[in-house]
Amino acid sequence: MFDGFYKVRFELGGAVGRSVMYVGDDRMLGGNSAFAHIGSYEIDGEEVAAEIKTVRHNPDPNYRAMAGTDDATLIARGRADGVLLRFKGELKELPGVPFQSVMTPITEDEIPPPGAVGEGGVVDGLYSIHIRMLDGVDGVLTGVMLLNRGRILGGDAHFYYLGSYTSGKGRWKGQILNQEHTSAVGENPIFGGHEVGIGFAGTCDAEGAVLDATALAGKRSLRLTAALKLMRRL
């Protein structure tokens, strides 16, 4: 009923934020460029009762915590509104300050079939991802990525990632399609306005993974490298 992959727009006391979120198997896992959102939910009739913690993964002080603290806990209840999910609640750290969000489903039709994951493969879980452009191109991207049995779901405040991978014996490789869910043309001139295909290969262990990749953004071919850090196992 509620399972799926969503883009999220949320408000806390008038301030607005955005993220992506996977809902399924009693878990809510997602985040954006600075914070991971890690939580659980229970279905209560036609409503969802959720508790979600925020955990900073990006130390850049320019990304400020809306709650005034990096570690906050949201208590909220939501229900379906057509294909949307709408939540209302408050943070434990800011009692009385209203929180509300709307979650819009992202199609998963474009995800390639999941790849095989063998012994020594990348661990299923929610990761932070920090991407750095190469070849003199100035650009850094950060977000979250959910790796689960050969499938990739992830994103940040402007983009979402869909992909697949194979992994084993400390190595992994795969492909990702990076698309906008909210316009990023003014925020990110490299990927903003483009559907970006990315092929990658790298190494992995029990704590995270690294990769080297080539991205096709419009007519540009760009090399990049990325580091993933495991934040929550599945």
At 11 the three-state DSSP class reads strand
Which CATH number among 2.40.128.50, 2.40.128.380, 3.20.20.70, 2.40.160.20 corresponds to the domain 125-233? 2.40.128.380
Domain ranges of the chain: 4-105, 125-233
Q: Read off the pTM.
A: 0.94
pLDDT at residue number 189: 64
Give the per-residue pLDDT at 163: 96
Q: What pLDDT is recorded for position 191?
A: 82
Residues of the chain with pLDDT under 70: 1, 108, 185-189
Homologous superfamily in CATH for domain 4-105? T3SS negative regulator GrlR (2.40.128.380)
**pLDDT at residue 188, as a whole number:** 66
Please answer whether residues 17 and 157 qualify as being in contact, where contact means their C-beta atoms are separated by less than 8 angstroms: yes
Please give the pLDDT value at position 184. 76
Same fold for the domain at 4-105 and the one at 125-233?
A: yes
pLDDT by residue (tens digit) across 145-177?
999 999 999 999 999 999 999 999 999 999 999
Q: Say what the pLDDT of residue 183 is.
A: 87
Distance in angstroms (rounded) separating the CA atoms of residues 73 and 194? 34
